[in-house]
Amino acid sequence: MTGRGRMWARALAPLALSALVAGLLLSRPVHVQTSLYDLVGDMASTVPASVRNRSNDRASVVVSAKSENAALSAADAFVAALPADLGAAVRHKDDGAAFAEMRTFYASHGSGVVSSADAERLKTPEGRAKIARAAIRRHFSVPVTLFTPVQDPFGLLAGFAASLPTSVMGWSPRKDGVLVAERDGETHVLVSFTLPPSVSGDMDALERFASGLRAARNAAAREGVRFAASGVPLHAAETASRCRREIGWLGVFSMLFIACLGLWAFRTWKVVVWFALSLANAALAGFAALVLFAPSFHLIALVFGTTVLGLVIDYSFHWLLRSEADERATRRNLLVSCATTEVSLVPLACASLPALAQSAVFLGAGLVAALATVLWLYPRAWRGMWCEAGRRGRRPRPTCARGLAWGVFGIVCVALVAGLPHARFETPLAALYRPPAELAAAEAQFARLSGSDAGHGFLVTTCAAGVAETLDDMLAREARALKRRGRRFSGEASQSSQGVASLRRRHQVRQRTDAVASLVTPAERRDPLGDAALVTPAERRDPLGDVACLSRFLPPLAERTANWENVNLLYAEQGEKLRSALKLAALPAPEAPRAWDAKTLPRAIAENFLADGALVASNVPADAGADMDMSDGVVFWRPADLSCVLTAWGRQSVGLFLAAAAAMFALLLVFVRGRAVRVFAPAVVSFLVVVAALTVRGEPVNLFHMLAGFLLLGMGVDYAVFLHESRGRAVKSALCALLTSMVGFGALAFVSFPVVAAFGFALGVGLPVAFLLAWASAPRDADTAPATEHGASPLGLELAWLAYRVFGKRALNALAAAIGLCIWMFSAGARKASRGPGKAMRFARSLADKFVVMCEGPGQPCVETDGSDDAAAFVADVQAKKGVFVLSSHCGTVEVLAALGACDVTFHAWMAFAQTAVFNAFYARHAKRRRVRVHPIETFGMASAFEAGDWLDAGDCAVMAADFESATAADGSPRIAVSEGAVRFARALGHPVYFVACVRTRGSQYRAIVRKLPTETRAGLADAYRAALEAVVREHPEEWFRWMDRG
């Protein structure tokens, strides 16, 4: 096999291995969970599956219009326009049998079922007499009634039935299977669909169903008619469609960005292949691990896992952009990075929330596979393909980032102070799912027409047998749980509800989910219709809300018992009268109410509320009433409980987060030792910034923000490890990693699915903060360019220039003076060079003038000569284009010099770029003067000498500084060391040589001190230069700043 063949074999080997492993595991049946209740694991498994999504196979379309004919004709047109292959959906048709069944059910459970109005009337003798009279009238005058006089002597059941909401009583079935109701002056026609499992469980089929409804609706649309489609299948279809569309676009965008970034960094498209290889290995390994870990896993785990696999690209960037010298360090940093990320995932993998554990397993395995690919496969696969890939292109200048980072740090501090104290940890239902406005409005309308408001609940009813044993078991379990928490359990198990209630109040069990979990075991929950599962009312954590409203359909036993007592009075007072009116031999005695039997609940209740032994109450009153005693034995569970569970998990995940952080810090102490705090701090601070940002937005920190926090911790440490350990050399790879992560994760913040958006927001905010803080706190490398130059940073210069543009030159001078003052105050070197701050401030002002001169074009500055003959000769030579060589100094400005001639002569000046990189960069960005050309002294060579000769011969001028060291004599006078090379060069060109020093007089005005230097001998030239410069320094000491002082 050739070398290239071996290369491809190595490249494909891990991929093939992963695919083989995944294939073997896929031979096992794998179940992907999609229900939100599956997120909470065992807790949700206690809720019967068919109850988790109420009517999850039902969809309803309500056609509303002002007139009945319009509504009915529109409904007929809608039905006629339905596609023939509407996913085999079954139209739900009501034949009224359910209502008859309900009537029998109520009549068979004894007295006490009364409407609220009759319950009030039952309390007084006058009311009871009124009830009796109305009953007599009804029996005689109404030919047909719902209940016979024997079943319902006083019409109490009939009154109760009349008080039931529209969902049971209000819809009038028609021959063609639609239901009609009139409300609010409109006619509403209900067309219902029941979807078979093959459709309700298939997202594609659901989307076809939803699109079929939309098409039929559009075909039947007419003026004055509204269509409102609702139901879980439509929510699922809409969510699937949105997710597919959004994540599809995001995926394409992310891949394109990564490819372009790779092209920019490596100048070749081949790198995309290696990225894809690493991703594929990671995805396969992650999926295989997930299947091994859990035969059934939640879809959210898969979604999270695949999105965060973008982390593997980071490893590729770090490895491919390393330098040869850093190979060993990069390998070590990759191992540390992977280890810390894996450690951060361990608490998640051990979490009881299945989705979290599954996500952690997927990601953990994927990252290990990616690391193996990078460390083992990359070096072996393309050894020799390219070695310089990572070195092309300019390295981003760290100076800008440091300035920006410190600005971000300031914002971070403010945000932390402002936001953290008000942070909330809560996972509302809206964090899981937010329906589109149209669907939400349709649901609300349907609920209103059906007599229920938004909000659902579940009650699990059981038979009344086996109370004592179960209660004792539960109390014993509660005692054990409380003991574990260190609380004293005093009190005895009581079989009375009052005793249990007393126990509850005394021990104040707050956590709703724990209480529910501890009260009923999973085994009991799975058999809710058996005798084992029973919880007394005192065990309920929230006796209000749905329970009070469910009594509209199934009044609790206590309420019925209270009514029954008044019914007995009714019979005692009015029974004889009624008996004689009805000519009955004897009036049936009122039957004591019995506990509801879940097995015999009527279909009218079952189809709306009951499935597999659980009842779903569908209303939550705004004002929760008194504690209702339902001694039937109920356990309360509703979708809001899901929010409580997730909130509790979100709060518990804070503990997991701290554990992960501690583990990561311990690992860092092993690997980076004393730098552990510095490496770890940016990640922690970035998470706190995310919390503060959420608080500022008014959002609580939910479970999915916390999940992102784990990743943020790991990725923040990654950035810090690479930047700190490489002393800034890995900034390019870290920046590439940040950009890919930002594109991959930050874009998720714009997805309409709240879970994914929360994840994206947390990472989109936290990652750049972590990166910048890591970069700002990373130690400097000797080879890297300084972030600032004599206190001036690129950002500072730009801000100063902006201030000049806005406020003018005076403001710039004032700012420069202030900066000079700060430099003198905080720089020991500046204080050494000058006793007072005046010189530093003057220098800063002159520097500001220099920039103004450079960038403002002709007309600046205002220069006058010293009036000497040499000055006049200099000006004459320049104007005559004789080609003048100027030996200048480090005080003065070449632009001022160039203004002396007031002609089109170009001045070529050599400057030290490497040592004035910040200023030179600023100059390069803004300079407009074309008469001044600045050349780096570092590139000075033979070619420069020939070019200089050509310039001078052409009549241009050349400028070079000839002093490179300075010292102070015992008498305080300066001693200038002259550069022999500059002197020789000036003399060798054979053109007139002048000394020019431009001193600042006031404002932007300068005075040029000019001396013509003798060129007969080199020593004479040097001495004359020295003498001239020393004279200027003595005369104008405030203009002399020994930047080049090496002492």
Partner 1 sequence: MKRRGRRFPIGVVTACCALGLQAGVPRCAGVLARALDADAAWTLERVVPGLESPLVSTGVVSCCAGSGIVWRVDAPFFSEVCMLGDAMVFSDEDGVRRKAAKDLPQYDRIRKQTDAFLAGDAHAFDGAFDLRACDTVDGWTLTLTPTVGAMKRLFTQVELAGDKRLERVTLKTADGGESRICFFEKAQGAHELWKGARP
756 makes contact with partner 1 (CB under 8 A): no
- For the chain, the straight-line distance linking the first and the last C-alpha, in angstroms and rounded, comes to 65
Instruction: Between 151 and 752, name the residue whose CB sits nearer to partner 1.
Output: 151
4 makes contact with partner 1 (CB under 8 A): no
One residue of 3, 5, 29, 143 binding partner 1 per CB under 8 A: 143
Q: Which of 170, 175, 164 minimizes the C-alpha distance to 91?
A: 175
d(CA 798, CA 9): 53
Distance of CA 962 to the CA centre of its chain: 59
Interior CA angle at 22 toward 21 and 28, to 5°?
Answer: 105
Residues 846-865 that bind partner 1 (CB under 8 A): none
Residue reference for tokens 């300068």:
1006
Instruction: Between 107 and 299, name the residue whose CB sits nearer to partner 1.
Output: 107
508 makes contact with partner 1 (CB under 8 A): no
Minimum CB separation from partner 1 for residue 179, in Å? 9
87 makes contact with partner 1 (CB under 8 A): no
Q: Which of 469, 493, 563 minimizes the C-alpha distance to 128?
A: 563
159 makes contact with partner 1 (CB under 8 A): yes
Instruction: Between 155 and 543, name the residue whose CB sits nearer to partner 1.
Output: 155
96 makes contact with partner 1 (CB under 8 A): yes
Tell me the three state secondary structure of residue 999: strand
- Cβ neighbors of 57 (< 8 A, separation 6 or more) are 194, 195, 196, 197, 200, 232, 233
Minimum CB separation from partner 1 for residue 139, in Å? 6
99 makes contact with partner 1 (CB under 8 A): yes
Instruction: Between 174 and 594, name the residue whose CB sits nearer to partner 1.
Output: 174
Minimum CB separation from partner 1 for residue 155, in Å? 7
Instruction: Between 141 and 508, name the residue whose CB sits nearer to partner 1.
Output: 141
Q: Which of 758, 772, 776, 778 minimizes the C-alpha distance to 690?
A: 758
Two structure tokens written together for 774? 């890591």
- Cβ neighbors of 64 (< 8 A, separation 6 or more) are 71, 186, 187, 188, 189, 225, 226, 227, 228, 445
One residue of 2, 5, 28, 141 binding partner 1 per CB under 8 A: 141
Instruction: Between 136 and 721, name the residue whose CB sits nearer to partner 1.
Output: 136
Two structure tokens written together for 752? 């309409």
651 makes contact with partner 1 (CB under 8 A): no
Instruction: Between 138 and 226, name the residue whose CB sits nearer to partner 1.
Output: 138
Minimum CB separation from partner 1 for residue 180, in Å? 8
Let me know if 285 is exposed, middle or buried by CB neighbors in 10 A (0-12, 13-18, 19+): buried
Instruction: Between 145 and 631, name the residue whose CB sits nearer to partner 1.
Output: 145
Instruction: Between 3 and 185, name the residue whose CB sits nearer to partner 1.
Output: 185
Inter-residue contact 582 to 150 (CB < 8 Å) = no
- Cβ neighbors of 1038 (< 8 A, separation 6 or more) are 838, 839, 842
Inter-residue contact 600 to 105 (CB < 8 Å) = yes
331 makes contact with partner 1 (CB under 8 A): no
Of 129-137, 212-220, 750-758, 987-995, the window that binds partner 1 (rule: CB under 8 A) is 129-137
Of 169-177, 631-639, 872-880, 1031-1039, the window that binds partner 1 (rule: CB under 8 A) is 169-177
Q: What is the DSSP string of 737-790?
A: HHHHHIIIIIGGGGSSSHHHHHHHHHHHHHHHHHHHHHHHHSPP-TTSPPS-BT
The alpha-helical segments, DSSP class H, found in 979-1047 are 980-988, 1018-1035
Minimum CB separation from partner 1 for residue 161, in Å? 6
Of 130-138, 358-366, 566-574, 709-717, the window that binds partner 1 (rule: CB under 8 A) is 130-138
Instruction: Between 166 and 462, name the residue whose CB sits nearer to partner 1.
Output: 166
100 makes contact with partner 1 (CB under 8 A): yes
Residue reference for tokens 């939550």:
620
Minimum CB separation from partner 1 for residue 96, in Å? 3
One residue of 10, 91, 130, 577 binding partner 1 per CB under 8 A: 130
149 makes contact with partner 1 (CB under 8 A): yes
182 makes contact with partner 1 (CB under 8 A): yes
Of 144-152, 291-299, 569-577, 715-723, the window that binds partner 1 (rule: CB under 8 A) is 144-152
420 makes contact with partner 1 (CB under 8 A): no
d(CA 135, CA 138): 5
Minimum CB separation from partner 1 for residue 568, in Å? 21
Minimum CB separation from partner 1 for residue 562, in Å? 22
Of 143-151, 645-653, 685-693, 998-1006, the window that binds partner 1 (rule: CB under 8 A) is 143-151
- Cβ neighbors of 869 (< 8 A, separation 6 or more) are none
Inter-residue contact 996 to 897 (CB < 8 Å) = yes
Inter-residue contact 420 to 688 (CB < 8 Å) = yes
Interior CA angle at 465 toward 460 and 467, to 5°?
Answer: 80
One residue of 6, 183, 380, 928 binding partner 1 per CB under 8 A: 183
Of 555-563, 576-584, 872-880, 920-928, the window that binds partner 1 (rule: CB under 8 A) is 576-584
144 makes contact with partner 1 (CB under 8 A): yes
Of 142-150, 594-602, 617-625, 932-940, the window that binds partner 1 (rule: CB under 8 A) is 142-150
One residue of 4, 28, 175, 673 binding partner 1 per CB under 8 A: 175
One residue of 6, 31, 137, 984 binding partner 1 per CB under 8 A: 137
Q: Which of 824, 823, 797, 827 minimizes the C-alpha distance to 812?
A: 797
145 makes contact with partner 1 (CB under 8 A): yes
Of 154-162, 270-278, 545-553, 994-1002, the window that binds partner 1 (rule: CB under 8 A) is 154-162
**45-84 footprint of partner 1 as x/- string (CB under 8 A):** -----------------------x----------------
Q: How many residues bind to partner 1 according to rule CB under 8 A?
A: 43
* Cα dihedral 411, 415, 418, 421 in deg (nearest 10): -150
Inter-residue contact 738 to 719 (CB < 8 Å) = yes
Q: What is the DSSP string of 463-515?
A: -SSSHHHHHHHHHHHHHHHHHHTT----S---SSHHHHHHHHHHHT---HHHH
529 makes contact with partner 1 (CB under 8 A): no
One residue of 51, 86, 146, 557 binding partner 1 per CB under 8 A: 146
DSSP state of 649: H
Residues 579-618 that bind partner 1 (CB under 8 A): 581-585
Minimum CB separation from partner 1 for residue 511, in Å? 46
One residue of 116, 148, 495, 939 binding partner 1 per CB under 8 A: 148
Q: Which of 405, 400, 531 minimizes the C-alpha distance to 464?
A: 531
128 makes contact with partner 1 (CB under 8 A): no
Let me know if 421 is exposed, middle or buried by CB neighbors in 10 A (0-12, 13-18, 19+): exposed
Inter-residue contact 672 to 329 (CB < 8 Å) = no
181 makes contact with partner 1 (CB under 8 A): yes
Minimum CB separation from partner 1 for residue 582, in Å? 6
Instruction: Between 163 and 827, name the residue whose CB sits nearer to partner 1.
Output: 163
One residue of 26, 142, 872, 954 binding partner 1 per CB under 8 A: 142
- Cβ neighbors of 204 (< 8 A, separation 6 or more) are none
Helix, strand, coil percentages, rounded to 5, for the chain = 60, 10, 30
Site residues, partner 1 (CB under 8 A): 68, 94-96, 99-100, 130, 133-134, 136-146, 148-151, 155, 158-159, 161-162, 172-176, 181-183, 185, 581-585
